[in-house]
Every structure is written in C-alpha cells, then in structure tokens.
C-alpha cells in the first residue's frame, strides 16, 4: 500500500492512502517534463480510462477543485482507428504541484502516466467538448461537470458571447425602461426559464449594469416619435456639408 501525498487546501486532508497502487514501478521515461520556470503548475490535465480506472476514482479527487469532460467514446486516431473511451479532467492544485506528484495521482486514478500542465484553462475546458475543433467529433458541453466549486459555464463563454449577451440585456433595459438595478436582478430571476443566462451575467457585471440603469433613471423614456430616423439624420448631415 503506497502513501500518496496530495497538494490540497488546508481545510482538506493532506494525505490519502490508495490501496493496491504501487507507483514505484511506474515508467515515466517517455513523459515530457512541464516547461515551467520551477517545474510546477496549478492546473494539470489528466486522462482517465474506464477500462483501467479505480472503482472509486472520483472519490479520490474529493477536496480538489476539478472538471471532467463527457466520455470521449467517438474519438479516432490519425489513421481512422477508434481511440479507447476516456475522460479528460482538469485538476487544480492551490499551492502548485510538481510533475511527479501529479503523475502519482494520475496513476492512482487510472494507471495512466501522461499528465500535462494547463496553460490555457478556458481552451482546455472548451476542448472537453471539442468546441473549437471542427475536425473532431463534437460532444455536448452541457455534459462537462465541475466539482469542488468549479464553474464550468464561466469557461465555456468567449468574450464575444458575453458581449452579445450584455447587449441583449441592454436592449431589454431600454425597451422596458428599467431604472433600478434591483428591479433588473428581479426581472432576470423571473425570466430565468426564458433567459437562463441573464441573471449570472447581470450579477457578475454589477458595476456596468448599475451605471447603465441609473443613467436611464434621469432620462425620460423616448417614444418612437422622439427617436430620429437614421435616414433623416444622414440627410441632415449631407445638407450641412453642402452648405459649407
């Protein structure tokens, strides 16, 4: 029985005994060392294969913050042969973890020896569903799971997605003359079934939306008759130019 040290928050146990795992015989010669300044990293990528996974492999990660992909059971190699079904997982080590420590954890989980430091966490989480890899089989991003407080949705959205969502909410504010931030939050809760992503966007961009709705408070709503037609504005601009 081997004692495997785990880099975990102070509130969690610092050691866990894993039965029937002997990492001393693990061949790590073909695993590239992480290219970081001190050979350590906080986020690491691992793979877990159902055929070799420990029966309680998810319980072995209790106390960690981590994420798991859908089961990749339709991936293929370059020659078209099917890959073995597997899960991709991303595990967070708050105090940074050495390569050797992560290899031992990976071997305890699934007797696998490949681990990789994660340089772009958002890219890795999106890779869990192959969102940016059209040449690969797509998986449902809703099946990506987070554990230990990991917020999956935060990493699935791109900056473009968030910008479009914020403009959608701003349009609703203008059209419905919302002038109080509290009312906006309440509306987002009431409209959750129709717009499930609104509430989180509003409450994580508090400063922006507070400023936006308060600026509307002192400006009376414009009626359609008061809103100038864009074509009229263009004609006025042309006439002013011609008069110069």
Instruction: Kindly list the distances between the CA atom of residue 41 and the CA atoms of 6, 8, 26, in Å, as whole numbers in the listed order.
Output: 14, 13, 21
As a whole number of angstroms, the distance between CA 90 and CA 143 comes to 15
Instruction: Kindly list the distances between the CA atom of residue 148 and the CA atoms of 41, 64, 135, 218, 238, in Å, as whole numbers in the listed order.
Output: 19, 6, 32, 44, 61
Percent of the chain with pLDDT over 90: 58
DSSP state of 45: E
Average pLDDT over residues 60-68: 97
- Closest CA relative to residue 42, chosen from 190, 150, 161, 178: 150
Task: Determine the pLDDT at residue 28.
Answer: 40
Strand partners, 53: none
Q: Which of 68-77, 128-137, 228-237 has the lowest mean pLDDT?
A: 228-237
Provide the pLDDT confidence category of residue 230 given band limits of 50, 70 and 90: very low
As a whole number of angstroms, the distance between CA 3 and CA 136 comes to 39
Could you tell me which residue, 186 or 19, shows the higher pLDDT? Answer: 186
Average pLDDT over residues 145-159: 88
* pLDDT greater than 60 at residue 223: no
How many residues make up the chain in this entry? 244
Say if residue 115 is exposed, middle or buried (CB neighbours under 10 Å; 0-12, 13-18, 19+): buried
Per-residue pLDDT tens for 24-44? 444 444 344 455 445 799 999
Provide the pLDDT confidence category of residue 243 given band limits of 50, 70 and 90: low
């Amino acid at each position: 029985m081997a004692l495997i040290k785990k880099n975990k928050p102070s509130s969690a146990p610092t050691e866990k005994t894993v039965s029937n795992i002997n990492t001393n015989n693990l061949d790590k010669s073909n695993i590239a060392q992480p290219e970081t300044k001190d050979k350590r990293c906080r986020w690491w990528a691992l793979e877990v294969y159902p055929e070799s996974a420990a029966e309680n492999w998810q319980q072995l990660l209790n106390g960690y913050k981590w994420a798991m992909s859908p089961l990749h059971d339709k991936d293929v190699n370059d020659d078209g042969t099917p890959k073995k079904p597997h899960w991709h997982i991303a595990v967070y080590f708050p105090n940074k973890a050495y390569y050797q420590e992560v290899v031992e954890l990976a071997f305890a989980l699934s007797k696998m020896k490949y681990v990789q430091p994660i340089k772009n966490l958002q890219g890795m989480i999106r890779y869990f569903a192959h969102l940016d890899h059209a040449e690969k089989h797509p998986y449902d991003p809703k099946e990506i799971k987070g554990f230990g407080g990991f917020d999956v949705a935060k990493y699935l959205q791109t900056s473009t997605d968030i910008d479009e969502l914020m403009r959608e909410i701003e349009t609703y504010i203008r059209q419905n003359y919302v002038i109080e931030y509290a009312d906006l939050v309440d509306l987002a809760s009431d409209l959750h079934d129709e717009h499930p992503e609104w509430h989180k966007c509003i409450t994580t961009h508090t400063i922006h939306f507070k400023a936006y709705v308060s600026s509307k408070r002192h400006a009376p709503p414009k009626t359609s008759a008061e809103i100038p037609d864009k074509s009229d504005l263009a004609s006025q601009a042309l006439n002013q130019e011609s008069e110069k």
